[in-house]
Amino acid sequence: MAVGMPGVLDSESADRCMKCGFCMSMCPVYGVDHNESHVARGRNMLIRMARDGGLATDASYRDSLSACLLCGRCEAVCPAGVPSPAIAVGARSKMVRERGLGSSQRLLYRGMVKHRSAFAKLVRGLSWLPGLSNRKGAPVRHFPDVVAAFFGGMSLPRLSAPFLSRRLPQRIPPREGEIVGQVAVFTGCIFEFFLADAGSDMLLFLAELGYEVSYPHDQTCCGLPVLSGGDLDTAQAIAKRNIEIFSRYEHVVTGCASCGGHLKRYESLFGSDDPWKEKAAAFARKVEDFSEFLVKRGHLAPRRREENRRDSESAEKAGGKPRVTYHEACHIKWKQHVDEAQRKILLGIDDIDFVEMEGADSCCGLGGYFGIAHPDLRLAMLAKKVDAIRRSGADIVATSCPGCLLQIMDGLRRENLPVRAMHLAQLVRGGY
């Protein structure tokens, strides 16, 4: 990935764009709004013009920069190999360095995301208030409204209580028998705060397979939300912290497609003369997606564990076998290129009916800062995804990205669709 010097626009790469337009057929944003300044071809041209002094970096320029999900689809098909997502990030970062961050972004990135333990303490305190968390209490009301203001109107599930790092220790021994290996797990913020059941399933499943699982509680956010907002300095500080924390482990697994795609590209955050570049590259080589880790080591047919079955509602509805469809996260397919692993795993679960949805790899529309800046476009993409889920006739939609899960849960709630959204780790552990 050729980002070039951090914080400096990679003008050489932007100049390689030959305006062929291949990216237009792939771009999910262009697919809903047909606005050429919102697709790689048009944006690359605007960025070059701004760099050369022929275009004001005004509101419409900033609109163009923010209207990219950083999904990587355009880069994957570009015949000239133009790293358009990285170019967009470089341009956002340049804007942030020139103009500074807005107050809400500064609070979110530097006050909350960068100091996750302090943020966790604040949220943990809030989680004791009735109605805010998964503890028994009244339905959630005010807190999601506040959070929704930060996330472009997206409704979030209730906070996990307790958070994941309060449920499981930093070392989880293999459940039984000999140790087959050792692995460290990077969980990510969504598993920690919102989907702790799913995160717990991932960690425990690895232990059940015979791995000694290390779960460092001092890990922090991967930094992708911060980078997508153009705050490269904070993204670098976060990356350094995670690289140091995981330096003592040989294998690092994550169940978050977005985190994984970013962790594997940490190297691109640092300039060629920065000693952190090599450290980041060494770290990235150790990172594997949960599904990739399982498939590479032959864990294709997960052992069914009847005691882990927590809800048979959907199974009964489907006459014994729940019908499961799969949403393919952009950061799995286009950034990590490990998209077949998830299907192999799903096909290895013998008591589900796996059914492909139309456009399984179409973007759900979340995209970090994109979803905040362009809630209308986020919802347009989400509506397409929910419609495909509906037409599949599935009882469950599975994915390997907690971010996509939040987005899809939001869409299912909006449409009142009786389909459950689950992480792959929940399925392999039999929790359906």
Q: Smallest distance, Å, CB 33 to ligand SF4?
A: 11
CB nearer to ligand SF4: pick between 80 and 179: 80
CB nearer to ligand SF4: pick between 378 and 423: 378
* Near ligand SF4 by CB under 6 A: residue from 80, 122, 129, 149: 80
CB nearer to ligand SF4: pick between 20 and 126: 20
Q: Is 396 in the site for ligand SF4 (CB under 6 A)?
A: no
CB nearer to ligand SF4: pick between 41 and 420: 41
**Token pair of 283 as six digits:** 């770290």
* Near ligand SF4 by CB under 6 A: residue from 7, 48, 50, 73: 73
Segment interacting with ligand SF4, rule: CB under 6 A, options 20-28, 198-206, 237-245, 398-406: 20-28
SS3 for 179?
Answer: coil
Q: Is 384 in the site for ligand SF4 (CB under 6 A)?
A: no
CB nearer to ligand SF4: pick between 31 and 137: 31
Q: Is 385 in the site for ligand SF4 (CB under 6 A)?
A: no
DSSP track, 53-115 = TSS---HHHHHHHHS-----HHHHH-TT---HHHHHHHHHHHHHHHH---HHHHIIIIIIITT
SS3 for 201?
Answer: helix
Segment interacting with ligand SF4, rule: CB under 6 A, options 19-27, 177-185, 243-251, 300-308: 19-27
As a whole number of angstroms, the distance between CA 36 and CA 156 comes to 31
As a whole number of angstroms, the distance between CA 336 and CA 314 comes to 32
Q: Is 82 in the site for ligand SF4 (CB under 6 A)?
A: yes
Q: Is 68 in the site for ligand SF4 (CB under 6 A)?
A: yes
SS3 for 186?
Answer: strand
CB nearer to ligand SF4: pick between 40 and 213: 40
Q: Is 44 in the site for ligand SF4 (CB under 6 A)?
A: yes
CB nearer to ligand SF4: pick between 71 and 425: 71
What radius of gyration do the chain's Cα atoms show?
Answer: 21
Size of the site for ligand SF4 (CB under 6 A): 27
* Near ligand SF4 by CB under 6 A: residue from 65, 69, 101, 419: 69
* Near ligand SF4 by CB under 6 A: residue from 4, 7, 9, 26: 26
As a whole number of angstroms, the distance between CA 133 and CA 127 comes to 5
Segment interacting with ligand SF4, rule: CB under 6 A, options 57-65, 75-83, 137-145, 399-407: 75-83
As a whole number of angstroms, the distance between CA 14 and CA 227 comes to 19
* Near ligand SF4 by CB under 6 A: residue from 71, 91, 196, 257: 71
**Token pair of 64 as six digits:** 């163009």
As a whole number of angstroms, the distance between CA 427 and CA 346 comes to 8
Q: Is 84 in the site for ligand SF4 (CB under 6 A)?
A: yes
The answer to whether the beta carbons of residues 371 and 381 sit under 8 Å apart is no
Segment interacting with ligand SF4, rule: CB under 6 A, options 14-22, 114-122, 212-220, 225-233: 14-22
Q: Is 331 in the site for ligand SF4 (CB under 6 A)?
A: no
As a whole number of angstroms, the distance between CA 184 and CA 216 comes to 8
* Near ligand SF4 by CB under 6 A: residue from 9, 32, 78, 156: 78
- CA 161, 165, 166, 169 dihedral sign is positive
DSSP track, 364-376 = -S-TTHHHHH-HH
- Buried-state track 339-359, b at ≥16 Cβ within 10 A, e below 16: bebbbebbebbeebbbeebee
Residues that bind ligand SF4 (CB under 6 A): 17-23, 26-29, 39-41, 44, 68-74, 78, 80, 82, 84-85
